[in-house]
Chains A and B, each alone.
Chain A
Amino acid sequence: MNPRIGPHLISIEDLDRAGIERILDRAESFAEVAGREIKKVPALRGRTIVNLFYEASTRTSSSFELAAKRLSADVVSIRSAGSSVDKGESLKDTVQTLSAYDPAAIVIRSPHAGAAQLVAGWTPAAVINAGDGKHEHPTQALLDTFTLRRRLGALDGTRIWIVGDVLHSRVARSNILALQRMGAQVTVCGPPTLIPREIEALGCDATSSLHRLHEADVVYVLRMQNERMRDSFVPSLREYAQRYQITAARLKPGQLLMQPGPVNRGIELSADAIDSPAALIGEQVKAGVAVRMAVLYELLVGSPILAVAA
């Protein structure tokens, strides 16, 4: 059976396991490119990629830009501040305007769920969701899966705990779906106010206690934002840290530690955990470029897997 990929990457649901594996395999070959002195292949020469970011982003926007450039594409990056978006232009009008440049792909980040899907209806370009509200962030889940697969080989049967503010996390949602598709068992853990009701419908377990954290092979820590305290989802960051902060002492030897960044040191993660050999955080960042190259390549070129590396 052919892997299911595209024509857009809006949600992890757009991919089956074979599709995820295809992208990760492709990313392996691009990771090799990153080791060369000239980190560039001509795959998308002459084609245009538009990055449309309606939300602040460091890692995602820079890695998409770098990924497109390493594929030799022309890249236009637009941020909402200072653009016509600031002047009240609707998403639809912006997208239709940008589509006049005939881009091969539009990469969009939006504070609103479903924005990428809407964009896909308004443009002939391939659309890649770089985060839509609290809904999904599929390329983050792919790079996390890539990082884990590199370390563990296969994810079948791997027990992964996602700890923290699941309610507001698109990273959690995409990872629950992607990791389960790859055969992992996912447990989400956090304060009851930050675990969505009926999250178990996604196929994961849910708990409010770290007591069974030792069962995890991988601990994936979500970022805890200050405003959750202001909105009384937690009484204080101090109490949150007491109950849910992942420290070196709470980790068992052999457990792997991940976090999508940016990290709040001393809140969701202690410094000794971040700096411990268990942490894969740097590898996650590094994987970002190769995985996003792979996504662009699979959506826009998609030729047989062996033809890439040259």
Chain B
Amino acid sequence: MESLDSTLGAGLDQRLFHRDRPGAELLIRGAHVLDPRTGLDEPHDIVIRDGQFAELGSPGSLPAPEDGELFDATGKHVFPGFVDPHVHLRTPGQEYKEDIESGTAAAAAGGFCAVIAMPNTDPVVDEPAILGSLIDRARQVACVPVGFLATITRGLNGQELTEMAALADAGALGFTDDGKPVVSAGMLRKALAYQRLSGGVIALHEEDPELSRDGVMHEGAVSARLGLAGIPSVSESTMIARDAALARYENSRVHFQHLSAVESVRALEHAKQAGVRVTGEVTPHHLTLTDDLVRTLDSRFKMNPPLRADGDRRALVDALRSGVIDCVATDHAPHARHEKEVPFEQAAMGTTGLETAFAALFTELVLPGELDLSVVVERMTAGAGLYDLPTPRIAVGEPANLVVVDLQASYEVGAHGYVSRSENCCFHGRNLHGRVLLTLAAGAVAFRERMLVEATWAG
């Protein structure tokens, strides 16, 4: 048998890596199929053979493949598998928080069929050899395909470029110093210029440390009340404006990570209108939560960038709807309990997000009518295209990347623990609608929901 990478290569970009698994043989019966890109928006039977979409037909019209499984998904929804362009898998060096296996399992449990891992590990991914070891590891244990970014500067030092061309050759999808900004405009300019040689998207965590200083939350009425040092919105937006200008000057391709503020949305919109090749992402937590929650001083609500005011949140939702912000990214940032069970100012920044991303957006934005379901599905899959990866599509001949969701089913986040190794989820304890039942990634079953599977699988 040829390697899965080549047989399913149609959808598996050579720069995504995962464990080999047999292609699924499966009939999904009667699910409402929604794929905004192919225009599907009605109940269908879906037959998957050898990990590819083999047939689509009207409900009840198609037989299950021989030796295949039948999943009666009447009343459930099928979407193209989600793609998360921003996760922290913590390998190498911080496996007590997460690793490639547990992180990609969490991704599959959230309906993701591909993720892109950030390089701010220990050591950081700044050399081809380190990247190579990660790729080897992903081929052994990754439950869904993983792409890797390398750092822009060596050791995240902000001062010396990594061997960007060699890293791209070794499989890096792009470059980021995520977790930190590239403070020096001169340094970033060199990276942007060098991109003409290396290729790869340059993704930027935007924060002016002179403005954010020792801030631990959004600067506003709540930080004034709590006496916590604030991170002003302009610490993000001024850097976006600066770096968009540099990207324009160097005609380079830049992606702005985890936007949090209305001012940042304006800066991104301005750059796009000027024709600069920029894109942006936003997290489910910035789309649904505000700094008001920090009044609890619960460290689950501590992340960078911070949760901001409701006006910021609404501007982010509007920008996602209009397309000024291109995609959803979770910034899944697992931390161990001892790093979070400390006073707010001392707690590590970040929240997990892979397992709750869709349900949070569906519950907090789709159900109240702030966003259409099709927009959420489109933006949760759009991250692939931003990194020049094929976008999951539900169409005959495509590799099976899909998620089956029960929009009616609700559950309490964390009540039965997490698939992720860490439990620092900002949605912990919330009741969310939209339960992932099944995820197919690169043609293979990556996740099936345990309880419901027993009740609904047959054949």
**Chain A residues near B (Cβ < 8 Å):** 90-92, 110, 112-115, 117-118, 132-136, 168-170, 173, 196-199, 201-202
Q: Which of B59-67, B69-77, B216-224 touches A? A: B216-224
Q: Which of B212-258 contact A (CB under 8 A)?
A: 219-221, 223-228, 230
Closest 9 CB pairs of A and B: A134-B227, A114-B297, A112-B343, A201-B221, A196-B224, A198-B221, A135-B227, A199-B224, A115-B343
Q: Given A114-B297, A197-B230, A202–B224 Cβ distance below 8 Å?
A: yes
* Contact in complex: A198, B224 (CB < 8 Å): yes
Question: Does B408 make an interface contact (CB < 8 A)?
Answer: no
Q: A113-B345, A133-B345 are in contact. Are A201 and B225 (CB under 8 A)?
A: yes
B341 x A113 contact (CB < 8 A):
no
Query: Judging by beta carbons under 8 Å apart, are B228 and A134 in contact?
Result: yes
CB distance from B287 to the nearest CB of A (A): 23
Extra contacts besides A132-B343, A173-B225 (20): CB < 8 Å? A90-B338, A112-B342, A112-B344, A112-B345, A113-B226, A113-B228, A113-B344, A113-B345, A117-B297, A118-B297, A118-B343, A133-B343, A133-B345, A134-B227, A134-B228, A168-B227, A169-B227, A197-B230, A198-B221, A202-B225
A210 to B230, CA, bound (A): 26
Cα separation A133 to B228 with both chains bound (whole Å) = 8
Q: Mark B335-377, 1 if CB is under 8 A from A, else 0.
A: 0001001111110000000000000000000000000000000
Residues of B within 8 A of A173 (CB): 225, 227
Determine the chain A residues whose CB is within 8 A of the CB of B344 once the complex forms.
112-114
The listed residue (A113, A197, A201) touching B227 by CB distance below 8 A is: A113
* Cross-chain contact A118 with B341 (CB below 8 angstroms): yes
How far apart are the CA atoms of A202 and B226 in the complex, in Å?
A: 11
Chain A residues positioned under 8 Å from B297 (CB to CB): 113-114, 117-118
B339 to chain A, nearest CB (A): 11
| Pair B342/A91 contact, Cβ less than 8 Å | yes
Residues of B within 8 A of A134 (CB): 227-228
| Residues of chain B lying within 8 A (CB to CB) of residue A136 | 227
A197 touches B225 (CB 8 A): no
Interface residues on B, range: 10 to 19
10 A-B pairs with CB atoms under 8 Å apart are A92-B342, A112-B342, A118-B343, A133-B228, A134-B227, A135-B227, A168-B227, A170-B227, A173-B227, A197-B223
The one of B226, B338, B341 that contacts A135, using a Cβ cutoff of 8 Å = B226
Report Cα–Cα, A91/B226, bound state, in Å: 20
Known: A133-B227, A134-B227, A173-B225. A110 touches B343 (CB 8 A): yes
Q: What residues on A are CB-neighbors of B225 within 8 Å?
A: 173, 201-202
Near A by CB (< 8 A), chain B positions 310-339 give: 338
How many Å lie between the Cα of A118 and that of B346 in the bound state?
12
Report B160 CB to chain A, min CB distance, Å.
Answer: 31
Residues of B within 8 A of A133 (CB): 227-228, 343, 345
Alpha-carbon distance A136/B344, docked complex (angstroms): 14
Alpha-carbon distance A113/B294, docked complex (angstroms): 11
- Cα separation A260 to B258 with both chains bound (whole Å): 43
Which residues from chain A contact B220 at a C-beta distance below 8 Å? 197-198
Return the chain A residue nearest B217 by Cβ: A113
Contacts of A92 in B (CB 8 A): 341-342
CB proximity of B167 to chain A, nearest CB, Å: 38
Determine the chain B residues whose CB is within 8 A of the CB of A199 once the complex forms: 224
Minimum CB–CB distance from B290 to chain A (whole Å) comes to 14
For B342, list chain A residues within 8 Å (CB): 90-92, 112, 118
CB distance from B251 to the nearest CB of A (A): 38
Select B224's contact among A91, A117, A197, beta carbons within 8 Å. Answer: A197
Measured in the bound complex, the distance between the Cα atoms of B228 and A110 in whole Å is 14
By a CB distance below 8 angstroms, the chain B residues around A135 are 226-228
Measured between beta carbons, the chain B residues less than 8 angstroms from A117 are: 297
Shortest C-beta distance, A142 to chain B (Å), equals 18
Contacts of B223 in A (CB 8 A): 196-197
A168 vs B224: C-alpha distance in the bound complex, in angstroms? 10
CB distance from A206 to the nearest CB of B (A): 10
- In the complex, what residues of A have CB within 8 A of residue B341's CB? 90, 92, 118
Q: How far is the CB of B151 from chain A (nearest CB, A)?
A: 31
Which of A113, A170, A196, A201 sits near B343, CB closer than 8 Å?
A113
CA of A91 to CA of B344, assembled, Å: 12
Chain B's closest residue to A195 (CB) is B224
How many Å lie between the Cα of A90 and that of B341 in the bound state? 9
Inter-chain contacts of A115 with B (CB < 8 A): 343
The docked-state distance in angstroms from the alpha carbon of A198 to that of B342 is 27
Query: Whole-angstrom distance from the CB of A113 to the nearest CB of chain B?
Result: 6
Contact status B224-A201, CB under 8 Å: yes
Q: Give the distance in Å from the alpha carbon of A173 to the alpha carbon of B227 in the complex.
A: 8
Can you name the residue of chain B whose Cβ is closest to the Cβ of A172?
B227
List A contacts of B345 (CB < 8 A).
Answer: 112-114, 133
Closest CB in chain A relative to B337 CB, distance in Å? 10
Residues on A with beta carbons closer than 8 Å to the beta carbon of B219: 197
Q: What's the minimum C-beta distance from B137 to chain A, rounded to whole angstroms?
A: 32
- Would B346 and A112 count as touching, CB distance under 8 A? yes
B296 vs chain A, min Cβ distance (A): 8
When chains A and B are docked, how far (Å) is the Cα of A132 from the Cα of B227? 9
* Complexed CA–CA distance, A283 and B129 (Å): 69
Within B241-299, which residues are at the interface with A (CB < 8 Å)?
297
A110 to B297, CA, bound (A): 14
Instruction: Name the distance in Å between B332's Cβ and chain A's nearest Cβ.
Output: 25
When distances are taken between beta carbons in the complex, the residues of chain B under 8 Å from A202 are 224-225
